Amino acid sequence: MRLLLRPITTAPAKWVSWFPCRQVGQASMDKVESAKRAAAHRAVDNHVKDAYKVGIGSGSTVVYAVERLAQRVHEEKLKVVCVPTSFQARQLIVNNNLELSDLEITYELDVTIDGADEADKQLTLIKGGGGCQLQEKIVAAAAKTFVVIADYRKDSTVLGEQWKQGVPIEVIPMAYCPVKLKIEKELGGQAILRQAKAKAGPVVTDNGNFILDWVFDKIHDWEKVNQQIMMIPGVVETGFFVGMASVAYFGMQDGSVKERHV
């Protein structure tokens, strides 16, 4: 039996046309990253001055804020001191050759710039998707002004409109079961122990604690709910940031930046 082999021709330049979904997905991600950068740069330009003490938040949007801050320090010879909210934030500060401090030395900050998982029309926030909400809240509370940076996907009228992963609640490991049951019994919804992706078992925070993601099933008075959860023994901190943010910058799909003030 003879096999007839046909030559295969390739046209690398045209291959991309075979993957329209990939093209659309990449374009969408490019818009998101551009929106993050626009919001972060606007916040740094508007709220950081020479001799400022700056709290550096955590997450993907903050990367662009540190990028812009380092650029301004280099070009304008600004003298700024940076206090991180997480291991990631500390690495960003160090890798960009910015001056690193902490709250023991620099305990009063001029501004903290941080991201959010969601912000409602009153600038009540859900934070902690990256597991850093405790240190983020401490650093935000130490600042005269707390500035939020995010892309258009995080801009909501009410909490839960965009963010479906729940509110992170940091808990002492031995207490996660009682806390979970109490939240579900008193407030409804479901409190889910967050599992790690690169290791077996639960996520462990920078502080050695576990995280419960509370997926709520109705709109609440968030200030009261936050206080109620904080009263449960074993709860360290919640991802609710109520009455803390002064202004939010949302990078939009068209390249503009939307501002929301309290």
Look at the block and give the residue holding tokens 């001191």.
81
What are the angstrom distances between the C-alpha of 240 and each of 66, 111, 133, 134, 213? 24, 19, 9, 10, 12
What are the angstrom distances between the C-alpha of 167 and each of 121, 211, 238? 17, 10, 7
pLDDT, mean of residues 199-204? 95
**Tens-digit pLDDT profile for residues 18-66:** 455 556 566 677 999 999 999 999 999 999 999 999 999 999 999 999 9
186 is catalytic: no
**C-beta neighbour count of 78 within 10 angstroms:** 17
**Tens-digit pLDDT profile for residues 76-134:** 999 999 999 999 999 999 999 999 999 999 999 999 999 999 999 999 999 999 999 99
d(CA 11, CA 44): 45
Least confident range from 8-12, 40-44, 103-107, 167-171: namely 8-12
Predicted local distance difference test score (pLDDT) of residue 23: 60
Please pick, among 75, 99, 108, 136, the residue that the annotation labels catalytic: 136
**C-beta neighbour count of 230 within 10 angstroms:** 13
Q: What radius of gyration, in Å, describes the C-alpha atoms of the chain?
A: 22
